Amino acid sequence: MAKILIVEDEIDLLDIYKEVLEIAGHRVVTAENGKIALEKLGKTGFDLVLLDLMMPEVDGMEVLRKIHNDKMNGSKGPKVIVLTNLSSDVVIKESFDSKADGYLMKTELTPDQVVQEVEGFLK
């Protein structure tokens, strides 16, 4: 059982991903935007972050950079899977350059497939 932070501003998707990951046995915490995500990341440890990129207040790329910087400063930090609809090669490259562990397209995966992908990254 992993502790997972889902960062997603589309509430319906957030609820769906939370439900399927909890059914799969994971502990799930949610954040509706990057600002809330950074607050929650600062308070407790997570095994994995599912991170949308396009969000209000603080975007996902900034959250990803903050997690990477924390890892550079000695924190083990969580694995980060970008979960977005952005398919631009530039954005994908920037995500991996910022040390994302994975990049998934929401439109190409069912919620159950997202769970399978998450569990693959947790092994």
At 31-60, the pLDDT tens digits run: 999 999 999 998 888 999 999 999 989 999
- How many CA atoms does the CB half-sphere of 120 hold within 13 Å? 11
117: left (phi over 0), alpha (psi -120 to 50) or beta: alpha
35 vs 20: CA distance, rounded Å: 24
| Residue 112 backbone phi and psi in degrees, to 5 | -65, -35
Whole-number pLDDT of residue 42: 87
Q: The domain 3-115: what is its CATH number? A: 3.40.50.2300
Q: What is the pLDDT of residues 21-30, one digit of tens each?
A: 999 999 999 9
Whole-number pLDDT of residue 77: 85
